[in-house]
Structure 1
Amino acid sequence: MLFPTVDFGLFFLVVFSLSWLMRGQASMRKLFLLVASYFFYGYWDWSFCLLLLFNAVISYIGGLLIDSSDNDRHRKRVLAAVVVIDLGLLGYFKYAGFFMDSLRELFVMIGLERDLPFLEIILPVGISFFTFQSISYVVDIYRKQIHATRSFVDLALYISFFPQLVAGPIVRAAHFMPQLDTKPVLTRLMMGKGFFLILIGLFKKMVLANYLATLYVDEVFLAPEQASSLELVMGVYAYAGQIYCDFSGYSDIAIGIAALLGYHFKRNFNQPYRSASLQEFWTRWHISLSQWLRDYLYIPLGGNRGGVVGTYRNLFLTMLLGGIWHGAAMTFVIWGIIHGSALIVERLTGLSRLTRRGVGRIVGVLFTFHVVCFAWIFFRAPNLQLATDYLALILQGTTDISMLTPFIVGLILTCAIGQFVPARTYERSYVMLSRLGTVGMALAFAAGLLVIQWIAPSGTAPFIYFQF
């Protein structure tokens, strides 16, 4: 079920109404939201609800076993078992087909052809996100940062809560689960926040991202040889805008929906293209993922405790594994290598200190943005050959314009301007909206939906991060 659809609108209207009627009955409300979340997930394929349930059961049992034991060896074994099961399932669905195809190609190359089974594995939507939440839950219990919940419904709802289930943000149990034990209150400010974030998210996705994709990005990446070097460069800029609007738009909608249900999610994007260094970029882009990689990968690898060489190694491995997380392809590996290498170069040269203010910051923003865009070429290209061809065609230096239109340039500029508006624009906007009162907010929201539907291109495109 996609957010910008009539089906989801009707679904959420029912969930919103019934959940607030149950606001005085905590257990009933949580159970209802859990059933609604499974219905939302099962709308694609009900069989994958079993995987979601299995994930919750393993996390629940593992959490209780870890929390109830004082034997550190036993706790480690249980933690390892849960993490291996979670990553094993994630690895099977995301990478089994890739490894089987690679093995078949290797046998052909060395003259040892084998009849290997053909695996056509359907990737469950959102498996990476609910797997990461499950892992963070049991790791936090092992670290004694939280206690295991005795309520299976609470844990299952934490893992499957529908606003962020399929594409994040990745929510921590320590932040979300205590909210389940308090009586929800829908203030005017939360309502204003919810309405505003849903509208801005829909505008980013349905208008900016979809127009950039359908009118330009898809065309230049499908046949880069038909575009000039200038148009290919603009194609990368357009994709930078598209992926930001697509993914941050989803996060905005998810956070807004949660707010309308009485729950607070942290911001997941914070104007990332205004960053003056790669280090700053990763504090602004997909914040919940970068914090997860820091807390559950970089720090366990040793963080910055292993000296200079150890720190650089851990940075590189974290970004490399972050690239592999996005998919089983060399393009994602190279994307991770670029980011890992750039972070190391920044530390070696001290560039992040030189770009904190003045002219240095302007140069840092431009340099960082273009490093990110260079990496986006590999992220977007369907294979390594097309990515290298794309780069080679850019280097030809041709400047003809046949595909690029003023409308596309306007969309790219709109995305760019949004990165440099005052930092608290979102907060000020939903505060102003909340001052309209309940009826005024509802009317403004309805009008906004109609305008977005009117100006958006026809059709419903899936969000980019659904594939991860």
Structure 2
Amino acid sequence: MLAVAVNLATLGVFKYFDFFALSLNGVLAAFGLGAPLPLLRIALPVGISFLVFRMLTYVIDIYRGQLTPAPALDFAVYTVFFPYLLAGPIARAREFLPQLRVPRDPRAVDSSRAFVLILGGLVKKLLIADYLSTHIVGGLFASPQTYSSWETFWGILAYSVQIYCDFSAYSDIAIGIALLLGFELPENFAAPYAARTIQDFWRRWHITLSSWLRDYLYIPLGGNRKGRGRTYANLVLTFLLGGLWHGAGWTFVFWGLLHGVGLAVERARMDARRSQGLPEPGATAGGRALQHLGVFAFVSLAWVFFRAESLGNAVAVLWRLVAGLGSFGTAVTLPVMALCVLGVAVQYVPRRGVEALEAGFSRIGWAGQGVALALALFLIDMLGPAGSAEFLYFKF
């Protein structure tokens, strides 16, 4: 377990030492105590959280007997494979390493699917995520007091769409590039905003992280095997730590706590309904619609804490939902509303629709694909913003 300790210590020094030192210094100052802890002020390596999780996966799977140690070069490739290096997906060593031993055959590469994924990722990032960030989200969180309730509502909705399009875009591009190189990476998103429960949301959102937390944290803590109370506590603790993994800040801790408590409450209600023999809430069409709406509202409001610079900033944004009544403002434009609606609506497109698009693209041949890609890239360049912001998950 020395390897686990070294990896966690590395993450702690680079990402969390100054956060906890500042927090403790604030507590000491509140009680009039001196001798504050020194700050390291070390630059955070890009993608360190993803790197450490891959390293932990490797050593823990070896410890559990699920994996044999790989040759040094194979291990190095798995650790820093460039498509997923900075922001995932979090590939498991036992799924990725065997692919290194399979001879590469360029004729077997599914280039059509790869190009569709890459192109779709560029559209989501450049035409949707960056536009919403520039035209409403950034302004709302920078100066919430100047926004009306109407604008705040759309700004919160816009951030929900922005973070989905931004993060899933990186995952799609990474998976597409890996496909061109002959590697299969795990799916990371599956229409998360179409979820009917918070648990279902986490089965669809950042799938490789949620499955990692389940297999390497929640289950080792006892999972649901040690009584209801322990199950609820394990859920809260798992997502509290999951929030902290995203960033060294109380906003991330609170965001994780919200999801942990939400999952625990949802599980408790489900247990209570089962013990009383009550039907599931989604037994009717109306019940299912309310579930979709309720989960999306919960997730969107929780995103406010994820995006905010501080807890105070998050509260200020949420307060404008009720304090800004009586005016509409000018921040909500037709393109903003259209992109928000589109970003949510695509969650309900059947998977077979995406598969049909990929199949259709593969049938038009290399020449047709080249023309289609060139035209699409031209339109993205023409319609996209002058500059593109970095992917949101790069800072994690």
- TM-score interval, smaller chain: over 0.9
SS at match of 2:105: coil
Choose 238-247 or 227-236, whichever is displaced more. 227-236
Moved more, 372-381 or 396-405: 396-405
Q: What code does the residue aligned with 2:185 have?
A: F
Q: Which residue of 1 aligns with 2:10?
A: 89
Greater RCO (CA < 8 Å, at least 6 residues apart) = 2
Q: CA, structure 1 residues 263+237, in 2 after alignment: closer, same or farther (shift >3 Å)?
A: same
Tell me the CA shift for residue 427 of structure 1: 2.2
Q: Structure 1: how far apart are the matches of 2:370 and 2:179? A: 15
The answer to whether the Cα contact below 8 Å between 1:324 and 1:336 also exists between their aligned partners in 2 is yes
For residues 147-196 of structure 1, what are the alpha-carbon distances to aligned partners after superposition, in whole Å with 9 as ceiling and x for unaligned?
A: 111x1110110010000000000001111111111112334771001100
Do structure 1's residue 441 and structure 2's residue 389 form an aligned pair? no
5+ unaligned residues in a row in structure 2: which ranges? 274-278
Percent identity of the aligned residues? Answer: 46
Matched, 1:201 2:128: no
8 Å contact kept, 1:133–1:170:
yes
Task: Could you list the structure 1 runs, at least 4 aligned residues long, displaced by more than 4 angstroms after superposition.
Answer: none
State yes or no: 1:371 paired with 2:371.
Answer: no
Partner in structure 1 of residue 208 of structure 2 = 288
1:286-307 Cα offsets, whole Å, 9 max, x none, are 0000000000000110111111
Amino acid at match of 1:439: A
Equivalent residue for 1:180? 100
Q: Deviations over 1:266-317 (max 9, x none)?
A: 2110110000000100000000000000000001101111111111111111
Cα displacement (A) at 1:460: 2.2
Contact kept, 8 Å, 1:225 with 1:393, in 2: the verdict is: yes
> SS in structure 1 opposite 2:67?
coil
Instruction: Tell me how far apart the structure 2 counterparts of residues 234 and 107 of structure 1 sit (CA, whole Å).
Output: 41
Match of 1:455 in 2: 383
**Aligned-residue offset at 1:375:** 0.6
More displaced, 122-131 or 424-433? 424-433
Query: 324, 337, 346: which is aligned to 1:409?
Result: 337
What secondary structure sits across from 1:87 in the alignment? helix
Give distance in 2, aligned partners of 1:454 and 1:239: 23
- Aligned CA-pair RMSD: 1.6
Please, which of 140, 151, 156 is the counterpart of residue 236 of structure 1? 156
CA gap 1:137/1:399 in 2 versus in 1, 3 angstroms: farther
For the 8 Å contact 2:109–2:179, the answer to whether it is kept is no
1:264 is matched with 184
The answer to whether the 8 Å contact 1:189/1:430 transfers is no
Matched, 1:108 2:29: yes
Residue aligning to 2:49: 128
Offset at 1:343?
A: 0.8
CA contact (8 A) 1:189 1:431 kept: no
Match of 1:4 in 2: none
SS at the partner of 1:301? coil
Within a 5 Å distance, the mapping from 1:339-418 to structure 2 comes to 339-350=259-270, 353-355=280-282, 358-396=285-323, 398-402=325-329, 403-418=331-346
The 2-side partners of 1:427 and 1:187 are apart by 20
Residue 356 of structure 1, CA deviation? 5.9
Cα offset, 1:123, TM superposition: 0.8
**Contact 1:277 1:355 (C-alpha < 8 Å) held by counterparts:** no
Structure 1 residue 130, shift from structure 2 partner: 1.2
Report the 3-state secondary structure (helix = DSSP H, G, I; strand = E; otherwise coil) of the residue aligned with 2:359. Answer: helix
Query: Is 2:258 aligned against 1:338?
Result: yes
Deviates more, 1:93-102 or 1:256-265: 93-102
Query: Could you tell me which amino acid in structure 1 is paired with residue 310 of structure 2?
Result: N
Choose which of 236, 241, 247 in structure 1 pairs with 2:167: 247
1:169 is the counterpart of 2:89:
yes
Number of aligned positions between the proteins: 388
Q: Give the letter for the 1:380 counterpart.
A: R
What is the CA–CA distance in structure 1 between the aligned matches of 2:157 and 2:108, rounded to whole Å? 38
Once the two structures are TM-superposed, the CA of residue 429 in structure 1 deviates from its matched residue by 1.6
Q: Distance in 2 between matches of 1:265 and 1:428?
A: 21
Amino acid at match of 2:362: S
Match of 1:155 in 2: 75
Tell me which residue corresponds to 2:132: 212
The alpha carbon displacement at 1:397 in A equals 5.4
2-structure distance, mates of 1:434, 1:126: 34
Which of 64, 67, 80 is equivalent to 1:146? 67
Structure 1 gaps, min length 5: 1-79
Cα distance, 1:326 vs structure 2: 1.1
CA distance in 2, matches of 1:419, 1:386: 29
Q: Residue by residue, what CA displacement relative to the aligned partner does 1:300-358 show, whole Å, maximum 9, x if unpaired?
A: 10111111111111111111110111112111111111111111111111289422652
SS in 1 for 2:44: coil
Query: 1:440: Cα distance to partner?
Result: 2.6
Q: Distance in 1 between matches of 2:268 and 2:37?
A: 46
Q: Does 1:227 align with 2:147?
A: yes
Q: Distance in 1 between matches of 2:29 and 2:153?
A: 38
| Secondary structure of residue in 1 paired with 2:106 | coil
What is the alpha-carbon distance in structure 2 between the residues aligned to residue 356 and residue 324 of structure 1? Answer: 36
Deviations 1:423-448 (A, max 9, x none): 23332222211112233323322222
SS state at 2:240 partner = helix
Does the 8 Å CA contact 1:126/1:167 hold for their aligned counterparts?
Answer: yes
The 1:286–1:263 alpha-carbon spacing in structure 2 relative to 1, beyond 3 Å, is: same
**Matching residue's letter, 2:360:** M
Question: TM-score, normalization: structure 1?
Answer: 0.80
Partner Cα separation in structure 2 for residue 113 and residue 91 of structure 1 = 24
Which amino acid in 2 is paired with 1:362? A
